Structure 1
Amino acid sequence: MVQRYIRIRSDIKKVEAVEELIPTGAKHRKLLVLFDHLKKFDSVCKRLQRDETDMAEVRLMFDALLTEYPVMAEHLRPTAKVVHTPTFESGVVKVITGAILSPAEELALKRFEVVQAAGKKRKKDEEDYASVLLRTGGKPRNQVSGGRSGRSAAYKPLAKLVPPTSNTVERLFSQCKLVLTPQRRGMHAARFEQLAFLRVNRGMWNVSTVASVDTEQNE
């Protein structure tokens, strides 16, 4: 709506019937500032709906929004109430970015850990000082990850493919907007839920499925 107003404002001024309703200069400038904020949120919402968006990218975007809009911390911070398993999600983000996990995060991702052969473990133990410095970012071995050895366990590639909940939720909201058109505003909530459910799971049914259900109900 704001975008549409900005686009047609110059034409609205030519209509005498609505001339008094046009926002003044100060209000118009506020709308322009608001539109800039809305564009940022819209770009993030669209990015969240992409299939290739991983949890690390989501965390990066949410942290950026928190920096600019601290009021959203209750909903977007890593430990928000809507996050079911904060330790697991933070662990997945660290696996994707290559950071060292905390003991609690390692425990949460234990099922994704790759068991290394004894020979490979022995080879890693024989790393020289220069290799350790390069791998740990210049930190001494005893200073990495709270005094631990600094070695990070290897995890299955599947851990990096865990989809963010926000992807599915954002797509669901967009699909609901397509279903809830102005002509359907008076629809019963239960019927709207059925239509939204069918649209989200479109790949699990077809015309034959609908016909078979209709036949069973008529019998």
Structure 2
Amino acid sequence: MLVRYFELREFLSADDKDIADVLPTPAVHCKLRVLKEQLSDVESVSKKLQSDDLNLLDARANLLDGLLEIQPSFASYLEPNAGIVHSPDFESGVVKRLSRGERAVLQPLKKPSKPSAPAPEPTKMGFADRILKRRRTQSTSCEYGLLDVIPPTSNIVERLFSSASMMLRYERSRLSPFTLEMILFLRVNDAFWDVASYNQAR
């Protein structure tokens, strides 16, 4: 909505009497611009959390903690011990910084370090990409086997909620819950079926 407002704002005249009463004042306009920038950062993190190549360390220690640095008011929702976190002890155990003794115990799981080729610089980076890049250049963390395959628990759920809100529009508001659930199930699990399996089911 804010993006749409700023796209249209340059074409709207404050002298037009029909819309002058509903146009934001210059002070409110400045506040809306700041709010748009903040929301674009939140949107960037939300979209990054839905990606398949994200692991728990990047989600918690990088993205969510980076968002909390600029938006402390989200602490009750995004902190490691927030009510939405399914298993706070497990999550903090996976992403914590290891002591010397813990590093020694986990030595058998340590992956051999490989020299990595520099990644090409993207032309435009979102807030989430900037956080991940900054954190990766600041610390050269040791990698341990199996930790990279632990996905953040919310990425599949985030994708499901996003597709549900896209699916259930006004024109489909009369769908039965069973039909909506079936459509969402097929959409989320589209890797497991194709036209051939559909024809077999018929």
TM over 0.5: yes
Aligned to 1:87: 89
Distance 2:169 2:196 in 1: 26
Distance 2:56 2:190 in 1: 25
Matched, 1:13 2:1: no
Aligned to 2:40: 39
Per-residue deviation, 1:162? 0.8
Alignment of 1:1-219 (within 5 A): 1-13=1-13, 17-59=18-60, 60-94=62-96, 99-100=97-98, 151-154=104-107, 155=109, 157-214=145-202
Per-residue deviation, 1:152? 4.0
* Letter aligned with residue 92 of structure 1: V
Gaps of 5+ in 2: 110-143
Per-residue deviation, 1:9? 0.6
RMSD of aligned residue pairs (Cα, Å): 2.5
Distance 1:149 1:91 in 2: 11
Contact 1:100 1:150 in 2 (8 A): yes
Distance 2:6 2:68 in 1: 27
**Structure with greater Cα Rg:** 1
- Structure with bigger helix share is 1
Q: What fraction of aligned residue pairs are identical, expressed as a percent?
A: 36
Gaps of 5+ in 1: 102-143, 215-219
Contact 1:44 1:61 in 2 (8 A): yes
* Letter aligned with residue 57 of structure 2: A
RCO comparison, higher one (Cα < 8 Å, 6+): 2
TM-score by length of 2: 0.70
Contact 1:13 1:22 in 2 (8 A): no
* Letter aligned with residue 187 of structure 1: L
Deviations 1:16-69 (A, max 9, x none): 533332112122122112111111101111211222222111112211222333
Distance 2:40 2:168 in 1: 23
User: CA 1:30 to 1:200, structure 2 compared with 1: closer, same or farther past 3 Å?
Assistant: same
Distance 1:84 1:21 in 2: 44
Deviations 1:173-215 (A, max 9, x none): 332243234422332333222211110001112234334444x
Distance 1:192 1:159 in 2: 35
TM-score by length of 1: 0.65
Distance 1:194 1:149 in 2: 46
After the TM superposition, which segments of 4 or more aligned residues of structure 1 sit over 6 Å from their partners? Answer: none
Deviations 1:67-121 (A, max 9, x none): 3333322221112222222222222223xxxx316xxxxxxxxxxxxxxxxxxxx
Contact 1:92 1:160 in 2 (8 A): no
